[in-house]
Amino acid sequence: MIMELNPVRGGDRRRLVGWGLVAAVSVVALSVALASAGDPDRTTADRSPPGPPGTLPGRVRAGHLLDGDWHSWFGTARGVLLITLAALPLAALVVWLLARHRRAAGTSRPWRRSLAEVGIVYGTVPWVWLTMLPGGRPGAVPGRVSLVPLRDLLTILASGPVTATVQIVGNLLVFGALGFFGPLRFAALASLPRVVALAAGCSSAIEVAQYALRLDRVTSVDDVLLNAAGAGLAALASRRWWLDAATMSSGPRVAPRHHDPHGGHCRVGPLPPAGT
């Protein structure tokens, strides 16, 4: 007999979906704030004076978006924001289709798996996209590196409460979806140190790419610290769900059926703990 090891109660499903909606709304809200605050840069140190005529700024007027300019849609913070908003119904539809398919196939936890997969992609791609947008003079200025911890963070805090809030919270959310949904989907990530290490590695790769591509951005260790911290905080927010799943998956071992030489079958009770 096949037993469901990890059932999802209706209340847990509703709470999990609710947290997913909160995460999506947070992504959209911070994207709006980021697009309204100014340049889509990750730290104040990234800000550079406007380039010569012909360079492409980080912000764009709404009229340019209506004109159908390719760069206005894919190369500006406001364009990324609108694409993210437009993709929200599609993301919800994909979650529903995946969950329906998995439920029909008898897969365990269909809603949790589907929501986690789509949540990781939807909640991470827009932020990574924003971090890779070039500054005012891409290719015209050498790469800049800031390896002194907390120096750029102190500069951000001194730039005013609005800018500081947008920059710090934005950095915390870059890998927030990965930290929240990753342990729910992948058992290997059901560990806070692993989530933080993965986020730090991904953030370091972004910083290296910004430097190598000469995007007129600052490669800052503070970005890595904030990105990793955000993933860790998000993992703590979903901890009760991925700990429950890990506990249920590691339940008591049950021996398989054995053939009875006198006829019929018998089932041996739970195996003793390993090493006894």
- Average predicted confidence (pLDDT) for the chain: 78
pLDDT at 26: 58
Task: Give the range among 45-49, 130-134, 135-139, 244-248 with minimum mean pLDDT.
Answer: 45-49
pLDDT digit string, tens, across residues 125-178 = 999 999 999 988 888 888 889 999 999 999 999 999 999 999 999 999 999 999
Residue type, 13: R
pLDDT at 135: 87
Mean pLDDT on 181-195? 95
pLDDT at 270: 53
pLDDT at 213 over 80: yes
Residue from 117, 147, 124, 91 nearest 198 by CA: 124
pLDDT at 195 over 90: yes
- Say which residue the tokens 């360079």 belong to: 55
Residue from 16, 134, 114, 18 nearest 74 by CA: 134
pLDDT at 60 over 70: no
- Say which residue the tokens 């000469």 belong to: 214
pLDDT at 6: 44
If pLDDT is split at 50, 70 and 90, which confidence band does 32 have?
Answer: low
pLDDT at 68: 56
Q: What is the C-alpha to C-alpha distance for residues 187 and 203, in angstroms, rounded to an integer? A: 22
Mean pLDDT on 205-209? 96
How far CA 20 is from CA of 16, 24, 44, 141, 178, in Å, comes to 6, 6, 30, 40, 12
